Chains A and B, each alone.
Chain A
Amino acid sequence: PRGSRVLFQQPLLRLGRPGLGRVRAKGKLADLPGNATAARSAPETRPRPSARAFETVRFLCTFRRVQTTRGAWFFCTKPAAPGAAGTPPRPRPAMRRTREEVDATLQIAKLNAAELLPTVHCLGFGPGASAAAGDFCLLELEPALCEQLEAGHSLVIRGDKDEQAVLCSRDKTYDLKIADTSNMLLFIPGCKTPDQLQMEETHCNIIHTEIFGFSNNYWEVRRCRPKLKKLKKLLMENTYEGPDSQKEKDSSHPKYTTEDLLDRIQASEEEIMAQLQVLNACEIRGYWRILEFDYEMKLLNHVTQLVDSESWPFSKVPLSICLQELGPLEPEEMIEHCLKCYGKKYIEDGEVYFELSADKICRATAQMLLQNAVKFNLTEFQEVWQQSVPEGMVTRLDQLKGLALVDRHSRPEIIFLLKVDDLPEDNQERFNSLFSLREKWTEGDIAPYIQDLCGEKQTIGALLTKYSRSSVQNGVKVYNSRRPIS
């Protein structure tokens, strides 16, 4: 109508079925000459949406208020493309909607206010809403991570330029991926759910809510194995051979503190600490060091010879006497470290004792024997091995799982060193290397070499099904590679 002022305040919400053009609602303005033409004129000028957008319902939605001289508000469609109705008026800063306006909208929408809760949220875009992508984002959390954040703990994303990023909490590691969605995700502070509104005692009837931002992608996390192979690699760069070794006097050799390791390894702190213990690493003057194997064996020999000469039981080795007797030979911290690696500490009558582990000592002795040859005659090895361990300890082949492999098909039967930590970390590469070593494996033989690949709730059986093919040979189930190994 003449004299009316047209205010453009709303953003364009584009939701439309592809190919159908815009859905136009008839309204007062559209019926007027001139404007009607404009409203019907424009076919969809946007390019045809992609296949993915096909899923989204797209329609043009505008909201425009026209003030008549009488002060009542109407909702009308707007003319089509810019320029069709002349230069568009300058947008005014958004004014806060009033309850009367909301009620008027409800009336026109033919919604019965009695069926609605009294509170309305008037949603608008906050000042930072159009901020550049990357300034804010959504992270999908597993319940464990959510609890950590609520307790005030931080999370860390770790990765090199050429690595896949991982997210670490204090004790778990997660793969990080970006998930795209064709839907729009708006994040809204201060927006209440119906349950929350109904629990409130006083009901205000209008809440002006600002949309903080929006996104059409989010970060997705999935629990994964920590990437710990690098840890051993770093620590092996400079093994510890004792305080008197030449290496210790030269400070140019790489050494790593806990912080240094956290900076380089894609794993959580607790997982790194656990692995350091598995590697028998020792914190010497603030740096984590792996002992050179011969040095470690030298320490162990001192201990076992002392146990033998004192006729102590293996389950009750007193710390204080060890330090006293062996102190002149080696640093006390190293003797204590050796006892910790090969035994379990306990206190009795105020004295510290260690219960030595026969399994660990036999295993270390086997490694010492096996690493000097490519392969051993099995029978000969078993004899020498039994003779080399401290008297009273019994050797068993199952102590060597993940360390050595027996070949029962060769004549004579042989045994050779095969350490699981020398094998690749990636699942497919691990299986490739195992199958290139030996074509067919029984489950008993291969299990120790793939046990560490099992993720949460994943079994050896599942891994074998995925990465190998099974067959029966001489009544025994064996596994081989799914594809030819070059």
Chain B
Amino acid sequence: MEIVHVYTKLHSEFGRQCLFSDRPAELLVDVPADQSLASQFTQRTRRDQSLQASRDMSEHRVNTKRFESESCGLNHEEGGWPKDVNHQVMEQTIRFRKKVEKDESYINSILQLGSVMEHCIRQNNAVDIYQDCFEDGEMPEEHQEPPSAKTINVFRDPNELKRTVTGLSWHPDGGEKLAAAYSCLEFQKTSRDMSLDSYIWDIENPNRPELSLKPASPLVCLEYNPKDCHSLVGGSYNGQIAYWDSRRGSQPVETSSVEHSHRDPVYKIIWLQSKTGTDTFSASTDGQVLWWDVRKLSEPTERLVLDPSREGNPERALGAISLDFESTMPTKFMVGTEQGLVVSCNRKAKTPTEKVVCTYDGHQGPVYALQRNPFFPKNFLTVGDWTARIWSEDIKESSIMWTKYQMSYLMDACWSPVRPSVFFTVKMDGVLDMWDILFKQNDPTLSLKVCDEALYSLRLQDNGRLVACGSQQGEATLLEISSGLSTLQKNEKSLLAAMFERETKREKILEARQREIRLKERSRSEQSRSEDGGREDIDQSPLQLMARAEEDFYVLTETEKKGKEREDQDLSSEKEVQILEQSNE
């Protein structure tokens, strides 16, 4: 509806000065409300709506389908021959070639190309044009970047039913391959459908394992032979030892006989230094440590029963969970037991009593990992219950250094092969901790949550940069550590040696003090015993002891009650005083 106002003006009045005057408002149009239209609408319930002066965004996640890729080479076949030449027939090809060689343009181009080529060849021979001109010997002081680690690859158990990665071992030659042992350690959780295989992974290809090893029973631990990069030995859940040659395929070359093997899962197996390079020894919770020669796995070459009372009694033997062997000390080895003791043994001892040299009272639970420091073999690291402890061989009563109690159980640990003061631990909440004891002793230098489930095993590659950890759901994660934690710092060895010495000395002093105190106590009690011998005898009867205990108890409670009553009285008297004061005001 258009509202129009028409006005007229005489032509003679154009250009005349405008004279404005006020006028009251005039109603031009009035459109009344039409109530009949209201029936077509309903009132909407009141609602709060927030407004924001920004662009509307929404989140959307996309996961591309995983596709499998494989590297392969390309083989070329002869081709490009003109139609009339059959390249199988030698004559025709020779004739064609001869024809081309007679061509003038051919001769010209070859001469020209030849001279260019000769120039470059001579250049190559004269100077290495790709050499490093500026030797970077003295690397500029690296900024102290915060230590970090990033995940490079994750190797997942290809089977439906996931098993725990209980053992990891790096390929000895350069560490391009990782062998992982898969088994289910939970009691009676293995189902018939669970695969028994363990795999060797190529670290570049996480899609498919390079080789699968098929033992008779799932493998709990697996080790590459450090001397021979093709042979592996594995300890399985039923106690047998199996020997593989990776060139021969998935089936074990030999398996030990069931009668002579362990009677419990083999938790750790290590290759020994020997002339033949075929000796290994294994430990299991049945209390035995067995030595094997892999050429003849039908029977162990030697047997040791871990009896702390040194009688070789298998009934009282301690179950072994971890082993350590340092090639610089070939006659000694150490065993970590389920009961929390660490036993140091001598292999060359003649009698079984001599075999067990000494024990260290380690942890309140099984000692899950045990390793000597590769730079300071006198000190070793153990992990069990909720702490990690560093020990010195000479001090048997307690560890020289230990971490505070962690939030979850520690499952495995190992030293860094390049930095003597760095070690790594994995915990049941899926966290990988890196400790640098020269930098910080109370807390880990770096703590990474690798996955949501528990981490069971850990292994560092020999160059110290790559670390593999295995989880309960069969995932083996490969991480790369920042260079700060994997390159040897200046003075590190001497600083660490000083630290270890200092701690060892402290423990020694404490030990000596304890001994003194104990001696004093003993001599004092002996003295008092000789003075009043008669009274001591009567007191020994249990009834008398109980009566005395009761008496003490009642006396204590009475004194406490009296004390409390007195307190209450004091309080109430105070209150009265306060009330009086208030009423006075």
Whether A and B are associated in the same complex: the answer reads: no
Partner-B contacts on A (CB < 8 A): none
